Structure 1
Amino acid sequence: MTFLFDSDAVTGVLRHMNGDHTDDNLLIARAFGGEPDLVSATMTGFDGDGGDWLAETADGRSVAVRAPWPGGPITERPQVRREVVALYDEACRRLGVEPRPHS
């Protein structure tokens, strides 16, 4: 059964990702969404199995993107950061982009 995070955790992560990591959202959506012409992406949710993004193509179509956590299912809020960073790193690898260092 998929673990569901509480609303405070989801709200906090989404606020952070959509406020501070818009470029990362787009990289992840491009790498995992199968659409090369995505121009924007917003993280819309997550659960213990993966994250969800809603992306837009250059011609205005909306594309839902679901990316499973690279490390497998999670149940703790601190694990979300680890898994999003892993998604970002994998997205960079897939797209041939040099990842920035993580602090």
Structure 2
Amino acid sequence: MYHIAVSFDVPAERREQFVAAALADGRDSLADEPGTRRFELIEDAQDPNRFYLNEAYTDEAAFDAHCAGEHFARFFAVIEEFARGPVWLIRGTRVEQAAAVSA
């Protein structure tokens, strides 16, 4: 499974707009993209205007398909004027038990 996590900083006055756009992206991606497995929007515990997207895909190709899709494009069209990010936190493939034992 391929995972990504990114952060965004959002001006307080655009917070609700960002939340709505991110939740729509997640909802629609999960519904329409077979390779999208998880899409979570997380509010930072100390800064209510910092958000994290925690996403999982079947593989890197599914993530690439998501990035080329309409939901991703719509999300960035809404937030590009005001959101600072994405700042990459993680990007990689989950290590499974069988792979760890054979290494």
TM-score range, shorter chain: 0.3 to 0.5
TM-score, reference length from structure 2: 0.32
Query: Please, what TM-score do these two structures have when normalized by structure 1?
Result: 0.32
Higher relative contact order (CA 8 A, sep 6+): 2
- Bigger Rg, structure 1 or 2: 2
Which has more strand, going by share of residues? 2
